[in-house]
């Protein structure tokens, strides 16, 4: 699942979309809501996996922020001041 998310993120970047979007879409597709590929035994680990996925999303989002772009925005000047 993690490899699938990573590959989907790279594919999304290749078509000029944010990699995080590819990761999220792959998680939705692989999960029980759409395709139901995951087994019941695997779903018992869902709390652990969801924490890992959440951490991955947060870290990926953090590194994708371009602070220089935010500095040019009036509403973000105070938050990005050096």
| Residue 20 resides in a domain | yes
| Residue 56 resides in a domain | yes
What is the average pLDDT score of the chain? 79
Which residue range(s) make up the domain with 58?
A: 2-76
List pLDDT tens digits, range 31-67.
777 777 776 677 677 777 778 878 888 888 888 777 7
| Residue 9 resides in a domain | yes
**Per-residue tokens: 6:** 């990573």
Q: How confident is the model at residue 11 (pLDDT cuts 50, 70, 90)?
A: very high
Outline where 33-72 has alpha helix (H): 40-43, 46-64, 67-71
CA distance 52 to 39: 18
Handedness of CA 13, 14, 15, 16 (dihedral sign): positive
What single DSSP character describes residue 35?
Answer: T
| Residue 82 resides in a domain | no
Number of domains in the chain: 1
């Amino acid at each position: 699942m993690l490899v699938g998310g990573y590959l989907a993120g790279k594919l999304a970047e290749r078509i000029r979309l944010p990699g995080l979007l590819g990761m999220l879409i792959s998680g939705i597709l692989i999960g029980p809501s759409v395709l139901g590929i995951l087994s019941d035994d695997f779903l018992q680990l869902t709390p652990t996996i969801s924490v890992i996925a959440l951490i991955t999303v947060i870290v990926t989002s953090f590194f994708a922020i371009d602070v220089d772009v935010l500095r040019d925005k009036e509403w973000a000047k105070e938050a990005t001041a050096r």
